[in-house]
Amino acid sequence: MVSFSFAVLFLLFLMTSCAHSQVTSTKPKIISSAWLAGWHTANATPTFDLSNISWSKYTDVYFSFAMPTVKTQTLTLDGSNGDVLPSFVQQAHANGVNAHVSVGGWDGSIYFSTAVGSAENRTQFVKAVTDFATDYSLDGINFDWESPNDQGIGCNIVNANDTDNFLAFLQELRADPVGANLTLSAATGLTPFFDSDGTALTNVSAFADVFDFITVMNYDIWGSWSTAVGPNAPLNDSCAAKANQQGSAVSAVSAWYTAGMPVEKIVLGVASYGHSFSVNQTSAFVSGSSTELAAYPPFDATVFPLGDSWDTDAAEPDACGLLESNGGVYDFWSLIENGYLDAEGNFTSAFPHRFDECSQTPYLYVEDAGLMISFDNAESFTAKGNFIAEYGLAGFAMWEAGGDFNDILLDSIRSAVGLEDECEQ
Ligand SMILES: *[C@@H]1O[C@H](CO)[C@@H](O)[C@H](O)[C@H]1NC(C)=O
Ligand SMILES: *[C@@H]1O[C@H](CO)[C@@H](O)[C@H](O)[C@H]1NC(C)=O
Ligand SMILES: *[C@@H]1O[C@H](CO)[C@@H](O)[C@H](O)[C@H]1NC(C)=O
Ligand SMILES: *[C@@H]1O[C@H](CO)[C@@H](O)[C@H](O)[C@H]1NC(C)=O
Ligand SMILES: *[C@@H]1O[C@H](CO)[C@@H](O)[C@H](O)[C@H]1NC(C)=O
Ligand SMILES: *[C@@H]1O[C@H](CO)[C@@H](O)[C@H](O)[C@H]1NC(C)=O
Ligand SMILES: *[C@@H]1O[C@H](CO)[C@@H](O)[C@H](O)[C@H]1NC(C)=O
Ligand SMILES: *[C@@H]1O[C@H](CO)[C@@H](O)[C@H](O)[C@H]1NC(C)=O
């Protein structure tokens, strides 16, 4: 009897302490978010559809991508299985998750410049975006322009005034009654947008006023275009040799913060995938060792490795109509499926590996295929989560929700930023 009532009291205490912390906490809610790649929800192997999303673990999800078109008054969902967008929003809302659409992307930034290129076009584009948000009952729009006054995929329209025009557009969007109500964010590079001279803005406070937050895409920092094998998503790089300082979460937060973006408006973008490189045995290992992997080894840039079954870069023309080389991307699930990592996502003794101290990211080497892979695992996601918590960032955004395996990465970063499952929902 005594122990029974004690148990009930204890349970009540647990319940009220969770409810209490939700209601009265002055701590802002940490953003736990990911992008959903619409084109992986069908006709992909494997598919990652709406039923695969761990809704209860997210506060925000970004359906990707809607793209500006040659006509400024429209957005298109072509190539992203837009048919599932209504269900995406409905399921998000049923789970108390904010539903955003990400606009643009690497393949979808061709017509941003003209969409915001004149006062008339900006007004039309505001209407296109607000009509789209209203039609689909969206909570927010995540602008992923890659990148203002900076060529991305190769055939984007670029204008020296892109960044000023983008700001003028965002201010007009904010002044609109529908736009005022939306959560507006931007997926950004490691440095602030380029001004008309092509240099990073030193004052982004006007952007901080219009955006609820920015999601800094801290990945693809090293890849097939680099001069050596380096980290896809480095947490830090100021501890690396000068030549290997190509940017990191640390450098990005510093750059945006110094230019006037409050840390509590910075969401760290994290990657559920890695890049592979063709590296021979001589280069892969530290001289004289057959087990210890070398840091920043050279790779054979003439061989673009095929990544996992989602790597279709060489099979389909890109948005510029060109066939690209293989992407060499391995999603986290595929590292496990290939047996490069065990079922818990841990290293195995079958593949030489290392954890790089400065970037706080793992590497592994597949000797018979001559492949070195830079990726993220539970340990690197924990390090990134600790950084978010320590520096008071707004939260994290993972590209992409479908890259994970059994939520190993998601659970690691959620736990590190202090999101406790017991008190959710
Ligand atoms: C999505 O869920 C299905 C069914 O459980 C599974 O077979 C598939 O591998 C999942 N997709 C991914 C990318 O994890
Ligand atoms: C305005 O949009 C149209 C397409 O609707 C485009 O042809 C034109 O170049 C744009 N104007 C500017 C100044 O970008
Ligand atoms: C940029 O804007 C300025 C001032 O509005 C204008 O004079 C200039 O022609 C524009 N440059 C381009 C490349 O459109
Ligand atoms: C603003 O959002 C609230 C709550 O979601 C909604 O009730 C209201 O209708 C919205 N206003 C406009 C102009 O969309
Ligand atoms: C940054 O720009 C804003 C206007 O957007 C201005 O009010 C502020 O003084 C500027 N800050 C600095 C340090 O120049
Ligand atoms: C990044 O590296 C610098 C230089 O070693 C170090 O002072 C700093 O604490 C590191 N930051 C983080 C977040 O690891
Ligand atoms: C190994 O790769 C390096 C860098 O690509 C190259 O310079 C070297 O010749 C290669 N060695 C062998 C034995 O193929
Ligand atoms: C395997 O990884 C999990 C995290 O996914 C970790 O908790 C566990 O300790 C690891 N096991 C070993 C043996 O390292």
What digits encode the pLDDT tens for the residues 45-103? 999 999 999 999 999 999 999 999 999 889 999 999 999 999 999 999 999 999 999 99
CA–CA gap between residue 213 and residue 267 (Å, rounded) = 7
State mean pLDDT over 104-129: 98
Amino acid sitting at position 393? L
| Helices 119-135 and 162-175, axial angle in degrees (round to 10) | 50
Q: Is the pLDDT of residue 19 over 80?
A: no
Cis peptide before 120 (omega within 30 of 0): no
Average predicted confidence (pLDDT) for the chain = 93
Which pLDDT band holds residue 146 (cuts at 50, 70, 90)?
very high
| Residue 331 reports pLDDT greater than 90 | yes
Q: What is the pLDDT of residue 92?
A: 98
Please tell me the predicted confidence (pLDDT) of residue 14: 42
The ligand 4 site (C-beta within 6 Å) comprises 177-178, 181
Give nearest CA residue, ligand 1 atom 10.
Answer: 48
Please state the atom number of ligand 1 nearest to the C-alpha of residue 402.
Answer: 13
Beta carbon of 280 within 6 Å of any ligand 7 atom: yes
- Over residues 334-357, the pLDDT tens digits come to 999 999 999 999 999 999 999 999
* Backbone dihedral region for residue 355 (phi beyond 0: left; psi -120 to 50: alpha; all else: beta): beta
Q: What is the pLDDT of residue 28?
A: 66
Angle between helices 378-391 and 249-258 (to 10 degrees): 20
Give the pLDDT band of residue 16 (cuts 50, 70, 90).
Answer: very low
From residue 89, give the alpha-carbon distance in Å to each of 2, 39, 165, 242, 398: 48, 16, 30, 45, 18
Task: Give the mean pLDDT of 376-398.
Answer: 98
pTM: 0.93
pLDDT exceeds 80 at position 123: yes
Lowest mean pLDDT among 5-19, 50-64, 211-225: 5-19
**Binding site membership of 236 for ligand 6 (Cβ less than 6 Å):** yes
Can you give the C-alpha Rg of the chain in angstroms? 22
Which of 250, 257, 361, 380 best tests ligand 6's pocket when mutated (most atoms within 8 Å of CB)? 250
Q: Name residues whose C-beta falls within 8 Å of residue 221's C-beta, 6 or more positions apart in sequence.
A: 190, 230, 231, 232, 233, 234, 246, 247, 248
pLDDT of amino acid 305:
97
Closest ligand to Cα 183:
4
Which amino acid type is present at position 357? Answer: E
